[in-house]
Amino acid sequence: GQTLSAKAGIPWPAAIAHRGASYDAPEETAPAYLLARDLGADYLELDLQRTRDGVLVAFHDDTLKRTTNVAQVFPDRAGQPISAFTLTELKQLDAGSWFNAAYPARARPAFVGLKILTLDEVIDIAEGGANKPGLYLETKVPKQFSGIEKDLKAQLGRRGWLAPRTAPAGFDAAKAVGVAYTPGRVILQTFEKDSLALLQQQMPATPKILLLWLGDGYIATKDTGAKAPAGGPGLAAFYARQEVESRAAFADWVRFAKQHGAIGTGPSAALTNGGDQSYADLVHPWMNDLTHGEGLVIHAYTVDDAVDFKALAARGVDGFFTNRIAALLSFQGRA
Ligand code: G3P
Ligand code: CA
């Protein structure tokens, strides 16, 4: 995949800071993105949603409950989606204190009162340091946000992130560093096939990744009616057994991605991750061979342990979404 990645202007293997440096700081907040940028991540990853008054913000969950104090500030509205709140309302929330409570060993007083960020504010961070990371943008639950692909194009265009830039003196494309100056400085990602098609329509020249997950129905369970275990080693064994049956379905999935403008796939990876083996293994060697054979790159999510970096690198994965960007960069000998 190195050649394929280079062709798309994407660093190889790509180090993608999943929700920022979200192991060390509250996900999708300023400290998480600043740290990821300054450590040297190739990309800042974020999930895009849209406020009631039409502002694109970086936020992962369907509701505000897990990562903000919405229950205190708006007790009657805690279960409402992000689209029910104006930006002014969202800015009243504390998006950092939950982290201190959940992870006392990594807690910091400075995390108290952190704000939800707009896309504009994340772009400011990406542009604001000595390192110039790219942006890896996901349209989250796009069905809730009709037209978000168009909004995104308009905003990236306004900020100058869709135009190719001239490389600065000393930029070495062969080393694939300095992604901010290559066509791959923005990567668009989605789980939703409809959104992929809309992203392609709006931004045909911008690299796109179709995220893959078990529930999609394009894999063995659909063809055979067999029921997959929920996760873990049993699931990996299940796919090993199902290889012959699932090959055609997986190939259809990959070809769909390619036909709709994706330069690669973002499969979930079965992981050790300290015992959390809840992800489906969509990075079997035969799946990777098939994907590379179609000329597509593979960025696996969400990978946090060195043992997993190693195993997946050996399987030819072209990039990692990770919460632990410091650990990944150190594994890659870049930090
Ligand atoms: O975008 C890749 C990975 O982030 C997908 O999972 O749920 O963390 O957005 P999620
Ligand atoms: Ca995401």
The ligand 1 site (C-beta within 6 Å) comprises 18, 45, 47, 60, 138, 189, 211, 266, 301-302, 321
Report how far residue 70's alpha carbon sits from residue 14's, in angstroms, rounded to the nearest whole number. 35
Ligand 1: which atom is nearest the Cα of residue 189?
1
For residue 138, give both structure tokens.
């996901």
What is the 46 CA–ligand 1 centroid distance (Å)?
A: 8
Residue 282 within a domain: yes
Residue 108 within a domain: no
For residue 114, give both structure tokens.
């952190």
For residue 225, the model assigns a pLDDT of 53
Residue 302 within a domain: yes
The total number of structural domains that make up the chain: 1
For residue 237, the model assigns a pLDDT of 63
Residue 318 within a domain: yes
Backbone angles phi, psi at 272, to 5 degrees: -85, -50
Whole domain around residue 171: which residue ranges?
A: 2-62+118-331
Residue 29 within a domain: yes
In the chain, which stretches have pLDDT less than 50?
Answer: 176-181, 216-224, 244, 274-277
Residue 54 within a domain: yes
Residue 68 within a domain: no
For residue 179, the model assigns a pLDDT of 42
CATH number of the domain that residue 50 is part of: 3.20.20.190
Give the residue from 29, 56, 8 showing the smallest Cα distance to 298: 8
State pTM to two decimals.
0.89
Residue 72 within a domain: no
